[in-house]
Structure 1
């Protein structure tokens, strides 16, 4: 009887160890494996940030386009899977990766140390350039950043520009909006005095709106601040696969070609 109890006890212990090992193995499964098994790469984007990601009429169809979309397609091709673009407001982009609704996020994201605590990031694919948009008839009113004190300054909620504006535009009322198009509309209507955003994005809006211009002023961007791709924390295999694509596209100039191609489409952008 004692031997039977001992055998049962050993069996229970072995089973527990086996389950623990299986659980540990599952936790260590890299995101790359899951993506390839389902045959699809789901990419979170906020399509209101031309030329990186935006909506445009292509052959009469409402289509999400941009240099980041081309980058996403290149990554999907490298992984041998289909690409699925998941659109949302910018402040939900990172959260969608964390909660598993998207595999990665490519949406003009900037690297920060705080973000790196919760996500893995790719090698950078574009160095950040900052711009401030103002009404064309008031451009001469801004000679220094101090002139924005007491002004309403729009930014994209959750963006690096929101942080930079709060740090550098002393006395300004920084208004964080979920959609960049809303910020531009409010600038045109006089509800905002300025909008802080990426320079290529600003250039696209200026090209479509003659009543706004790019100020000669800009915020100071930290050295090394650049656009990166976000993915779940502890995804070394996925990161290695993505970095392979990013490095190639940057070094051979292909990503710059993506930006040039996207810039040509901004004239058909859907607001």
Structure 2
């Protein structure tokens, strides 16, 4: 009976495809968003590509995205073949600017660092935050503000998680190796030094497992990029936002295109992104996925990040 109940909870709270939702007042239509927004070729960006740079696939921009169901960042459309989302759209704008076809490769969070470093992928565009440690191995070009949110069950008695003391004794779903995890671990150290109870991390890799853990009470909250949590609220109504912080806590940090250190492509990507920011396609992409509040005015190379 216990196993049956777990299955029923999983079926009830797993996120199912919804093709028209509203986030922060912005209506999002997956049917309309299947058609990518395109950009013009940017000769200045093309000319900035180092002569030594070798693309993973000739004539194409090969981009890694980590995971298959992380809306609105990336997900399969209703045909279960077409990969859509804001990260896919952003990759398309860069590919167009560089005069290349786009090749998006779904992979795991654990795989993209080695894939980018080895040249298997030209870059990763997967909600990757600039951090001090990551800058030792990779070059970054920013394209979005990093905003994180704490979400709980809609009927939870927890109403606020905004600082270290708020996580004491809680069981929190978080992705392994993410900046969310780094923030929680730093907060936990503060709490232990003050004699407060430690938090317990819950590592659930997919959305269905996260929903089951939260709705069954095995976890008290989940800590995730704000736009992903807001998407889930719009789909199910089973969760609520109880806290929002910058991804570079205690400072602001940005999400960035991630490239192999010194590969010779970083300047070209910066020029490409600044070009679409000026021409408007960049804003169109973020707005149609409900991410307009995270837009930047300029793309930067290797700015301060988490840990700096």
The TM-score normalised by the length of structure 1 is 0.76
Partner Cα separation in structure 2 for residue 187 and residue 100 of structure 1? 38
For residue 203 of structure 2, give the secondary structure of its aligned residue in structure 1.
Answer: strand
Cα distance in structure 1, aligned partners of 2:203 and 2:91: 27
Deviates more, 1:127-136 or 1:89-98: 89-98
Aligned equivalent of 2:39 = none
Q: 1:214 to 1:81 in 2, by over 3 A?
A: same
**What's the counterpart of residue 173 of structure 1?**
200
Single out whichever of 48-57 and 176-185 deviates more from structure 2: 176-185
Cross-structure match for 1:107: 126
Q: Which residue of 2 aligns with 1:12?
A: none
Shift of 1:73: 0.8
Aligned 8 A contact 1:150 1:172 in 2: yes
Q: Deviations over 1:223-250 (max 9, x none)?
A: 34001011111123x1111111222333
Report the Cα distance in structure 2 between the residues aligned to 1:219 and 1:149, rounded to whole angstroms.
20
Tell me if the contact between 1:67 and 1:255 (Cα under 8 Å) persists in the aligned partners.
no
1:128 aligns with 2:136: no
Unmatched 5+ stretches in structure 2: 1-48, 192-197, 292-308
1:206 Cα deviation (Å)? 1.0
Q: In structure 1, what is the Cα distance between the partners aligned to 2:108 and 2:158?
A: 33
Q: Which has the higher helix share?
A: 1
Deviation at 1:62, TM superposition (A): 3.4
Structure 2: distance between partners of 1:116 and 1:247: 21
Partner of 2:260: 232
1:93 aligns with 2:121: no
Q: Does 1:44 align with 2:71?
A: no
Report SS of the residue matched to 1:229. Answer: strand
Q: Is the 8 A contact 1:131 1:199 kept in 2?
A: yes
RMSD (Å), alpha carbons: 2.6
C-alpha contact (below 8 Å) 1:134/1:195 kept by paired residues: yes
- CA shift for structure 1 position 54: 2.3
Identify which of 204, 221, 226 aligns with 1:194: 221
C-alpha displacement of 1:150: 1.7
Contact 1:125–1:247, Cα closer than 8 Å, also in 2: no
For the pair shown, the structure with the greater C-alpha radius of gyration is 1
Instruction: Give the one of 78, 83, 93 matched to 2:97.
Output: 78
Contact in 1 for aligned 2:63/2:123 (Cα 8 Å): yes
Instruction: For structure 1, list consecutive stretches of 5 or more residues without a partner in the other structure.
Output: 1-28, 265-271
Corresponding residue to 1:208 among 235, 240, 250: 235
Structure 1 residues 178 and 99: alpha-carbon distance in aligned structure 2, compared to 1, 3 A threshold: farther
Alignment partner for residue 35 of structure 1, among 55, 67, 81? 55
Shift of 1:30: 4.7
1:139–1:223 distance in 2 versus 1, CA, 3 Å: same
TM-score by length of structure 2 reads: 0.67
Q: 1:211 to 1:173 in 2, by over 3 A?
A: same
1: CA distance between counterparts of 2:58 and 2:52? 10
